[in-house]
Amino acid sequence: MNQTNMTLWQVIDALVQTLPLSKQMVETILSTQLVEYEDANPFFHFFKFQSPPVALTEGVVILDVDLRISKRGHHPGLLGLKIDGACVTLDQIRARYDQLKVTGHPRGGSLDEQWAYSQILPWGTVTFGFAERNPRCLASVGVGPKEDAT
């Protein structure tokens, strides 16, 4: 497992400060390597971990990354982090993001479906997902543009 001396909150802040997202910057922030996959998509380059998960200082583990970089246009990119390890609760997130809104909910198809809580910020949206399998602990974090970004 790779180790970094950052907290989850520092990782999110660092990623946001790099917008638009790039493979190189995400690799630098997470001290990891990403590999491209899904090359048939005409709109985005897709990247995921090539190396082991990343352990953060507070016991949170980033199990995987889903990074999408536009092949054309000025889209700032999309990033998803799969989270495990120490439990991060909705109350802890609300202490940092006080305008969260429910933007998605499970539809009964799987215990991996998630409740999504998003906050719209000047640069875009940060979304926190809580899976039905363990609804008290954070399962994913997403960073992306506002809906009208192209």
pLDDT recorded at residue 131: 97
pLDDT of residue 150: 41
Please give the Cα distance from 82 to 65 (Å, whole number). 6
> 44 is written with which tokens?
């985005």
The residue with greater pLDDT, 146 or 81, is 81
Asked whether residue 11 carries a pLDDT value surpassing 60, the answer given is yes
Confidence of residue 149 (pLDDT cuts 50, 70, 90): very low
E strand or H helix at 116: strand 114-121
Alpha carbon distance 100, 117 (integer Å): 6
Spatial contact of 49 and 71, defined as CB atoms under 8 Å apart:
no
**Taking the model in full, what pTM does it have?**
0.91
Which pLDDT value is given to residue 54?
96
Least Cα distance to 139 among 111, 103, 107 occurs for: 111
Residues facing residue 68 across a β-bridge: 46, 78
Of 116 and 73, the one with more pLDDT: 116
**Rounded distance between C-alpha atoms, residue 135 and residue 131, angstroms:** 5
CB 61 within 8 A of CB 85: yes
For the segment 85-139, what is each residue's pLDDT rounded down to a tens digit?
999 999 999 999 999 999 999 888 888 899 999 999 988 899 999 999 999 999 9
pLDDT digits (tens, 9 = 90+) for 20-53: 899 999 999 999 999 998 777 888 999 999 889 9
- 18 touches 29 (CB < 8 A): yes
User: CA 123 to CA 132: how far, in whole Å?
Assistant: 29
